[in-house]
Chain A
Amino acid sequence: MSFRKAFGRRANGDLASAISLNRRQFLWSATGAMAGTTLFPVTRALGATAVPRAPKAVVVTFGGGARDDETFAEDGLENIPHMLNELMPRATFFTRVVNRGILGHYVATASLATGAYETFNNFAAVPPDHPTVFEYFRRDLKRPASDTWVVAPSNGFNRIGESGHKEFGQGQGAGVILPKRLLADALAGKTGDYDHLLRDNYESPMYAPALAGNEVQIHQLAEALTLSVSDFTSHAKNLASPDELSVYVAKQLMRKLAPSLVWITLHDIDIAHSGTFSLYIDGIRRSDRLCAEIWNTIQSEPEYAGRTTMFILPDFGRDSDQSAGGNGFQHHRTGDAISRTTWMMVLGPGVRENVIVDRPVESVDLVPTLGARLGFDARFSQGKPLVEVS
């Protein structure tokens, strides 16, 4: 943080409102979506389609924010064809999801998973302070450990499955699968130098936390998924990116174990920290395609079809081009409105389709909303259930 960087010129008025307005106008013109709050009362909408019993949920977060400019804005149209044409018509879309917490990927994703703004060091391998969604889910619904999983990039996310909260914690959360680390283990001693490939964290490429928490080892995963280590590595060798590996693992999980709560964090977009716009765009396009793949898996798997809600949201945005303290898409350091404001897409049974919700909500509202849909009480969350999709 430098003097001039920190003391950047004042941002334009209410940027968050402008962001929301731009998204809404764009989506109206691009998809013909309707404004949810003026269309019909929420209670009537929820009454129209009953949510099936034993609901499931799949949450996909982008651990590497994507801005409107490159997604839900005129110039970004070409980067999100799957979300725009295949998912949006089936979704309720929140245009203004504000993250008021720390804009670092691990701490922000942990905040999403706890429904409370965590304040720990982004680069520390520590569990969240507040109970996670996985702990609420398992305790309140009396579910076994095999019923909820996290698939995430490697940087510190190994502690995201369960909190350090005194009433919850060890052994009560989700198993965490870190595909890149599994690949590193599977390749150990047999290959050359894969540091570049297995890079954990584009914000800080040098950090590799010690193993701890609920992280699953390669042989445990192989056993659970009846997938041999050699199958895993041979699949990996046909995939172009770590996110594709994550989605491959998630699909295996869904087919073999059919957990009721799956959390997938994609991370390829965060290559933006390298300052290469084209690679950032590649990451967005890949995430767009992978989100559609996950949705199609949900629709095609009998254990998921018709009973699963999918949530898609970036953990936060990236800096505005107009913010003098930042360097545009490259980072998320300024805390400006663009970097704090993002969107969320919700699809599934009982969720109104092709609807835009324009009121401001917060990223910590996700966990209480999951609680309302799945039937648990996120009692330590700072957020509120989103009535439009609860």
Chain B
Amino acid sequence: MLPSQLKPEQFQAYSPLARELAVNRLPLLQQLPEAFVPFLLKEIVSLDSKFPSERAEIASQLAYLENLPVPQRDRELATFASLKLSPELQQFDWVNHPQQYLEKLSAHLWATHQMDKFRSASEEYIDNFYKAMPAPEPATHRFTAVLIGKGVTQTNYRLFRKLRRQGTYYSQVKPENGLATILETAEARAKANVAPFAHWYIDGGHAVTNSSSTLTTLSYDGLAGIRTALNARMRRAYDAHLQSEAFRTMLAQMTPADLGLHGAGGEEVMQSFAVSLLTEGSGTQVFSTTFVQWAAREALRRARPLTLVVRFTPRLRERPMNELLAAPPESNEVDPEGSLLDADMGAWYTWLNLQRLTGFAQSTCLVWFEDHTEAVALGPKMARGAQVATPIDLQELLRELA
């Protein structure tokens, strides 16, 4: 089917907000290339369970495309229009299953050596879009705190090796009340800049905040029920020898309701987000460190928060082959030292992802080896590559960073 053949009734299966948006923008969608429209529909189809910033961005992109003079729009999208698609793709129901279509499109582009061309066109398009319609500046500077190394008593690993070049390394941080101090700072920011999904706390174990917290909170332990239900489904798929692509499709189609969740409003948005972390993220179902890193990345990318506290905890230990052969693979033993390395890299990625958001020149970040004396602070007031060896408590350090 071609985009020019799109009709309003084809969006009947969409949820209310998504259907309304797609139908309202039908004249635009009908004029766009076949290899391009499904990207928009993939975002539109799940509009009802998206964060406010995502909804705004979709609206912004549609407005951008709508406002471009037709010859210019045709030029910008010419590469997409020139992609050679297979008959299977052309016949696929991309209106109702845009995600599956994009998986097939991806495989097709790789196999036909069109991926590089597609990638260049994508980058060019998104650059043009952001230049024309920059995302709004944040209401206040963004702040992220990353806590790593929970459960490690000592290490020989040289921490923050990538981050030290970007900020100031502190070797004499007083660790007392560190987590509480950081969460209090986050709560204060949440009260000063009230907005939905703008202040987050992600924990690899139990969330330590109470029910009165104003932070959007997500914890690995809090998702134990969903993870168990999901792992059971994955296990059944494994036993049934479900092939790779079918398996991915099964995961992509999974909804919160499939896993026993029935939220509404903001709760529905968070449940959908949590399920997406576990079904789209690789390794998030098994390793808490992977979950925390991926959750932080996705929260920054999708919700664009003003405040983000990320706390890594020890993940399960990957047992070597000889141990697995000697005993069944059931074990809850954790690997604090390996988790520290995972988290150190996760902190680096969190900083990089923070930099991809508007206002990054003013963004600040604190990475702390939890319960220890080492930290690195990054932000406009922090000298790059500098070291501070004088004692400082976390409250004071946070004040210097702000």
* A binding-site residues for B, Cβ under 8 Å: 1-4, 6-11, 75, 100, 102-104, 117, 119-121, 123, 187, 191-197, 201, 203-208, 236-242, 244-245, 271, 273-279, 281-282, 321-322, 324, 327-331, 334-336
Q: B282–A330 contact, CB under 8 A?
A: yes
Residues of A within 8 Å of B102, CB to CB, are 1-2, 6
Would you call B284 and A275 a contact (CB within 8 A)?
yes
A275, B293: Cβ atoms closer than 8 Å: yes
The 8 closest A-B pairs by CB, nearest first: A275-B290, A274-B283, A278-B341, A278-B338, A204-B244, A7-B126, A277-B345, A240-B320
**Considering the chains assembled together, what is the distance between the CA atoms of A324 and B127 in angstroms?**
12
Evaluate contact between A279 and B338: CB separation under 8 angstroms: yes
The 8 A CB mask of B335-357 against A (1 = contact, 0 = none) is: 10111111011101100100010
Chain A residue numbers with a CB within 8 Å of B356 are 9, 324
Tell me if B92 counts as interface (CB < 8 A to partner A): no
Residue B55 at the chain A interface, CB threshold 8 Å? no
Q: Is the interface of A mostly helix, strand, loop or mixed?
A: loop
Q: Which residue of A lies closest to B356 (CB)?
A: A324
Over the window 99-123 of chain B, the binary record of Cβ atoms lying under 8 Å from chain A Cβ atoms (1 yes, 0 no) is: 0001101110011110110110011
Q: Are A2 and B123 in contact (CB under 8 A)?
A: no
Please name all residues of chain B whose beta carbon is closer than 8 Å to the beta carbon of A208 when the two chains form the complex.
241
B322 touches A274 (CB 8 A): no
B interface bracket (residues with beta carbon within 8 Å of A): 35 or more
Chain B residues within 8 Å of A281, by CB: 341
Give the contacting residue for A275; candidates B162, B294, B301, B326; CB below 8 A. B294
Residue of B nearest to A333 (CB): B106
Residues of B within 8 A of A203 (CB): 244
Closest chain A residue to B115, Cβ basis: A335
CA distance A281 to B106 in the complex (A): 29
Whether B281 contacts A275 by the Cβ 8 Å rule is: yes
* Separation of A377 and B258 alpha carbons in the complex (Å): 56
Of the A-B pairs whose beta carbons lie under 8 Å apart in the complex, a sample of 18, sorted by A's number, is A3-B40, A3-B42, A10-B124, A117-B113, A123-B245, A194-B324, A196-B324, A196-B329, A204-B248, A205-B238, A206-B243, A237-B322, A276-B289, A277-B342, A277-B345, A322-B352, A327-B349, A328-B349
Most chain A CB within 10 A, of B105, B324, B348, is at B324
Decide yes or no: A103 and B110 within 8 Å by CB, A275-B293, A327-B294 being known contacts. yes
A339 smallest CB distance to B (angstroms) = 11
Chain B residues closer than 8 Å to A276, beta-carbon distance: 283, 287, 289-290, 315, 318, 338, 342
